[in-house]
Structure formats: C-alpha cells, structure tokens
Structure 1
Amino acid sequence: MSNNRQSPPANKLIIAISSRALFDLRESHQVYEEQGVEAFSAYQIERENDVLPKGEAFSLVEKFLQINERLGGEPRVEVILLSRNSADTGLRVFNSIEHYGLRISRAAFCNGGSPYRYISPFGCHLFLSTDGSDVRRALEQGIAAATLIPGGARQRGDEVLRFAFDGDAVIFSDEAEQIFKREGLAAFTTAERASAKQPLQGGPFKGFLEALQHLQGEFEAERCPIRTALVTARSAPAHERVIRTLRAWNIRIDESIFLGGLPKGEFLRAFGADVFFDDQPNHCASAAQHVATGHVPHGIANLED
C-alpha cells in the first residue's frame, strides 16, 4: 500500500466522486460502448444543454454539501468531480451541476484515462465510483473507496445524512474475517472471545470515519445533520471486541446493530441509510435492494474476484 498520499486539508472533509456516480450516464455510456469515443463525444456535445438525470450518489452529495450552509463561514466539506470524460464532453456534466445548484468547482477530466491518480493530490478522504478498477487503485493508495451498485438509491425525506458501515474489512481490518473464512464460525467465535480486549487493526474506512466524527463534533448532538451506524453480521460474544476497539480509537458511532447473520437490508432501510459500505459482494447485492450501497473490494472476501 502506498504511503505517499497527500494529507487532506486541515478541518475539511473531501469526497471525490465519478461523474457516472453523480449522474445517470447509462444512455451515453451505451453509445460509448457500442459506437466508440467519437460517437460518444458527438452525442454529449449535441446534448450539452440537456440536464442529466440524477445518479446513485446524487442525494448523498446534495445532503453532504448542505452541511456548509448549516455551518456558515469557511466551507468544511467539498466534493471533487473525477471523470474519464474529456473537458469538452464534460461540459454537459458541469451544466447539470449548475442546474441542480450543486457547489462543485473542482474537477479532473481525464479523456479516457483513469482519474484515480488525482484522488491523493486533491487530499480526498473518500472516493465513490462505478468503476471497480479505479476503486481498487484508490484503496491501494490508502484511501477509503467503494464501487456504487446500481439501483439502490432512494430519496430520503429529511436533510440528515446517514452513513452505514459494515465492520470487518471496512472499518476494521479483515484479520477476524480471515479466521471465519478459513476455519469457520466456531473458530472465529473462540478467537474473538480470546482477543476481546485486544483492539482490531484499522480497515480502509477508519480514517474516513474519524474525519466524519470530527465534522459531527461541530454540531450540537441533537442538531447534528450526520448520523452513523455500524451494521454487522457479528453477534454476542463477538460484539465485545468491536465495542472495545471503537472505544480504544475514541470513535463514537451513533447506532450499532449486531445481526448475528440476519440479512441487513431491512435494518438499513429502517436506519434510513443514504449509503452503506460492505466488503462482501453478496451482502452488497442484498442491501442494494433497499439503500444505496458501495462495495469495498478489500480483504479476504474479495481475493477470488
């Protein structure tokens, strides 16, 4: 894993997002897939004043940017647009951003190249994309990243931004999950009971969760527009190590749900998650029927991919 990433700007939380995650570009992407780059460019230029439909992460981004309005003063959150489009064809994207009133001013248009290499220079805490290869590269740089799964986005009725996370291989390392995958549930339970007072190592989303909590601290608890939830398949007695790990890290999560193997979807919908992050593809596919879901291709569950 690279350790050369730039430190994020102090007191600012930055999310990088691909244009295909922010807007629904399926129609134009089909033109690209079937007819090539030139046809795609012509298609976008001809329609550059046509507003793009909202994508999987639109509601998340909208709520995220509203945090600046609540705090006033110097902006505390920022969204960076990263795109494989050229700047010329990307004009339609920026026109759509302006139409919806999103305060996004920084972008990288890479004309067919991968934009992941700009995530670190921009100082991003989180990268959301529909391209799994870009997401894997971001994770290799030590940046929290997830591949958004189509179909899960829902428009929520309030302005509270709700992040939900799986535990192992997302917030925490996959050290415990490795035992479960290789030796089974009984060995996992025994190992976790024995290690209950030993904090787990951090996973790819630990830094993002820390930055998110720092931002939450800017608000009075009862008026905070951000809520977090841990939604994990763990159950007693494997819950103790998780609780003690978060305590050791001095990280507070608003809600913790230990499901003991139950499907997560209904619980995520009850929480009202704007996005849920999980490392296991089957859990993501199930959750995406209820809420916007990001697959984190990290850890032992993804070695076969």
Structure 2
Amino acid sequence: MTQDRKLVVAISSRALFDLDESHRIFETEGKDAYCRYQMEREEEPLPPGVAFSLVRKLLSINATLAGPPLVEVILLSRNSADTGLRIFNSIQHHKLDITRAAFTSGDSPFAYISAFGAHLFLSANAEDVVQALDAGIAAATIISSGSASSASEQQLRIAFDGDAVLFSDESERIYKTRGLAAFTENEKAAAKTPMSGGPFKAFLAALHYIQTQLGPERSPIRTALVTARAAPAHERVVRTLRAWNIRIDEALFLGGMDKGDFLRAFGADIFFDDQKGHCESASRHVATGHVPHGVANETG
C-alpha cells in the first residue's frame, strides 16, 4: 500500500483514554486544578477509553503486510504540551504506535485534521466533530457507556448506518417529511439510481482498499451495514455499493428493529449512526460514534 493510500485516523485524548475524572476536575475546579492534577499524575498511566480497542486493532493491521504502514493514528488534543505528557506516557505504557500529535491548549484542533490528511476524526467534543463534518471529513462524537463491551477477536469489525452516514440523507429527508410509504415508493422507483455518498463513504473506501490487499480470507477488517431499511428499499443500497465498487461484508436490513442485539452479535468494535437515539441504544452494547449530520440533526 503506497503512502498516499495510507488510512489516517485522528482521535482525541478523551476518546482514546478514560479521562472522565480529569474532565470532572476541569469542569468543577477549573483549568489550573486540572493542570496540577495531570502533572502530578503524569507517570500514572490512563486506563483505556471507549475507542481504545478500535485504535489498538487499527494499528495492529500494520503487522499484516510488509512495506509501508497501512494505518496511522494521530492524536489531536485540547490539552497543553505539559498536561499532554501524561497522555503520551500512557500511549507508551499501552504500547500504541502513535508518534504524531497536536496539543492546542484549549483551542479546537479542527484545523489540524486536514493538515494531517485524516480520513476519520473521533472526539468527545461535539463542536469539533460538527466542524469536521462540515469540512467533508468523516467524524463522530464518541458516546461513553460503561456497559459497552469491546469485541475480543483480533479482527477489526466496524458497523455503519446507511442514510446520512454512508449515503447522503436525500432519502431520509423524504421519510422525515412525507412518511414511510413515500420513502418506500421513492426507493422502489429509484432502485437503479445510485445514491450520493455520505460523510463516511471515503472512510469505507479506505477500509475496502486495505481489505483488497489481503483478500477476504485473510482480511484483518470486517465491515457491516446495519440499517433500518427493509425490502424493497434494500435494492437501492445494494446497487449503490456495487456502483461505488466497494465491498461490504455483511448487510443487515432490520426494518426498524432495535440495532443493539445485532451489533453485539456482529461483534462491532464501533458503530456509526446519525440518530442520537439509535446511538444511545447501541452504546449499551458496543462502542458507538454519533454522526451529527443530515436531516435528523437539524434544529429549528
């Protein structure tokens, strides 16, 4: 895999590590107390956060092929270099191959997402995520849930919602404004017309490229589409992915059923969905990223 096809994932420190106690101190006691707290504990490793398993598996992909790395993970943090020392010490403690970072001392790290060439940005800060999505970068707000279990297998498993995530929200807008019958009729009429890409199309394409380097039998990545769509609205999805020449390993058309049990059965390391309610439900089972994009996230 050439250097220009390398998958780059940018992640915030609060998505990578469990910084809930540190953040509570920042919120209740202020910045100075937070800085003292981190510097006093800079030799004390931070425990894994919601996206830790995802990052570990992403980085392990580099061991599957000879040559240049397939994947790079970049740390983007609102910490200062001083308070960020604990984060880098924790990265070394957990043996994560992360060498590049930006510490912005409270400012948004948004500008550095594109500078690093990231395909995906994961953060606990919803405002930063919205900025990234508005700039055309796949991004999600990590939802914390103490009960979510991470998949134990070495294979990386990523699940996506369809409309407003992999695909544009053009069909979802019809559903929201005119109802299920109109949505179904539109999808039947447009079954052979590929949908436009959503914010996660390029990220899925990058994952697909890595999969093609090893073939389906040895692939370190498995993907799934987990959508509320059902027949006959499934055909347009299948034909869209075919038109994009992108393979997806599993497709679950649930017809409105709750996604949580299916995501747990798939063993997802992370699931991306645009609807907050679906994300909160899914986060009880697997690590989840809310994609604040499309008609479901419009206000007013």
Measured after TM superposition, the shift of residue 69 of structure 1 is 1.2
Aligned: 1:165 with 2:160: yes
4+ runs deviating over 6 angstroms: none
Aligned: 1:96 with 2:90: yes
- Say if 1:146 and 1:294, in contact at 8 Å, map to a contact too: yes
Rounded to whole Å, the distance in 1 between the matches of 2:149 and 2:57 is 13
1:141 is aligned to 135
Measured after TM superposition, the shift of residue 48 of structure 1 is 0.2
Rounded to whole Å, the distance in 2 between the matches of 1:219 and 1:153 is 30
TM-score normalised to structure 1 length? 0.96
- Say if 1:265 and 1:290, in contact at 8 Å, map to a contact too: yes
Rounded to whole Å, the distance in 1 between the matches of 2:239 and 2:7 is 26
For 2:19, the aligned partner's letter is L
Alpha-carbon spacing, 1:30–1:45, altered in 2? closer, same or farther (3 Å): same
Rounded to whole Å, the distance in 2 between the matches of 1:252 and 1:170 is 16
1:50 is aligned to 44
Deviation digits for residues 229-284 of structure 1, max 9, x if unmatched? 00000000000111111111111100000000000000000000000000001111
1:170-185 pair list within 5 angstroms: 170-185=165-180
Rounded to whole Å, the distance in 1 between the matches of 2:255 and 2:215 is 33
Task: Give the 3-state SS of the residue equivalent to 1:133 in structure 2.
Answer: helix
Rounded to whole Å, the distance in 2 between the matches of 1:156 and 1:71 is 23
Q: Which of 23, 39, 51 is the aligned partner of 1:29?
A: 23
Deviation digits for residues 65-95 of structure 1, max 9, x if unmatched? 0000121321110000000000111000000
- Say if 2:126 and 2:141, in contact at 8 Å, map to a contact too: yes
1:302 is aligned to 297
For 2:149, the aligned partner's letter is R
Deviation digits for residues 148-178 of structure 1, max 9, x if unmatched? 1001642322100001000000000000000
- The unaligned stretches of length 5 or more in structure 2 are none
For 1:165, the aligned partner's letter is F
TM-score normalised to structure 2 length? 0.97
Task: Give the 3-state SS of the residue equivalent to 2:21 in structure 1.
Answer: helix
May I ask how many residue pairs the two structures share in their alignment?
298
Aligned: 1:39 with 2:33: yes
Rounded to whole Å, the distance in 2 between the matches of 1:153 and 1:121 is 33
2:244 is aligned to 249
- Say if 2:194 and 2:243, in contact at 8 Å, map to a contact too: yes
Aligned: 1:80 with 2:74: yes
1:124-139 pair list within 5 angstroms: 124-139=118-133
Deviation digits for residues 200-230 of structure 1, max 9, x if unmatched? 0100000001111001111132111100000
Aligned: 1:211 with 2:211: no
1:235 is aligned to 230
Cα RMSD (Å): 1.2
- Say if 2:150 and 2:286, in contact at 8 Å, map to a contact too: no
Rounded to whole Å, the distance in 2 between the matches of 1:156 and 1:292 is 10
Rounded to whole Å, the distance in 2 between the matches of 1:55 and 1:116 is 21
Rounded to whole Å, the distance in 2 between the matches of 1:273 and 1:265 is 10
2:255 is aligned to 260
- Taking every aligned residue pair, what percent have the same amino acid on both sides? 65
Rounded to whole Å, the distance in 1 between the matches of 2:152 and 2:23 is 30
Rounded to whole Å, the distance in 2 between the matches of 1:128 and 1:120 is 14
1:150 is aligned to 144
Rounded to whole Å, the distance in 2 between the matches of 1:292 and 1:130 is 13
- Say if 2:3 and 2:68, in contact at 8 Å, map to a contact too: no
For 1:70, the aligned partner's letter is T
Measured after TM superposition, the shift of residue 132 of structure 1 is 0.5
